[in-house]
Structure 1
Amino acid sequence: MTRHLTVNIVTPNGVVYEHHAHMVVAKTLDGDLGILPRHAPIIAPLAIDEVRIKRIDSDDHVDWIAINGGVIEVRDDIVTIIADSAERERDIDVSRAERAKNRAEELIREAKSHADVDELRRATVALHRAINRINVSKHQ
């Protein structure tokens, strides 16, 4: 019997993704983490980035999910991602993401002109999230 992973992505709003997969690649705060069946148990914080999931129902199909921080846990061939927010590539509203990117860029300019470090940090995170969503949407 071929082993596979069960992948679950959950946000405060509910389950975003549930499938079986051959492989998962996620970006942790320490770098990329590739997960195959029989992976050692691990818990790691996630960076704002995309998660790639190679599903078992297709040899070449990859699902792309925009993750905005959270935690990944791997145990007994179950990959659970608890994310602050997450969106599948097909669900991303690109025009909304572009508007969020433009707003964040404007907030960064304003924060720099006022030397507001806290606002600069928040705007930089917002920009990173918007760019991540735009990049993931291009994988459709």
Structure 2
Amino acid sequence: MFGIFNKKKQTDKVKAAIETANAVACDFSDLIASGSIEPTLIYDVSALPHAKDLIEKSCKLWILACPDVSQRQSWKVVLPMLSQFQEGVGSIPLGLDVSTLVNQGLPPQELARKITSLKMPSAELLERVHAEEHALLSWVTHAVDRCA
């Protein structure tokens, strides 16, 4: 008899965890969809709506629990972008956003000045970002394809 109550309690806990994971994952995907995150730049983790590890765990749980195939597929693009958020970057993103520079229609001298004033990431940071991106992409690809 007590086993029935424990199962009900566990089911409620699982549902609550999935709902929380969905909320956290949605906050992250909303940030990515907002257009304020450029795919060529590296941002400080303080720009994230929640702690990076919470976002990663929540997104992974949501991907596994998500009933919508097309939503799961979209996470193949969204989840790897979490790698663009790193500790210690600071308030100015690192990297070169060519599309923004070119679309401003600046004279060549002004464009050159802007480019030379950009903060570029170190080789070590780029390696870390690429390793995280690869790990996240591998995980999400495997998870989504397995759930299909």
TM-score (norm 1): 0.33
Would you tell me which structure has more strand in proportion to its own residues? 1
Bigger Rg, which one: 2
Greater relative contact order: 1 or 2 (C-alpha under 8 angstroms, separation 6 or more)?
Answer: 2
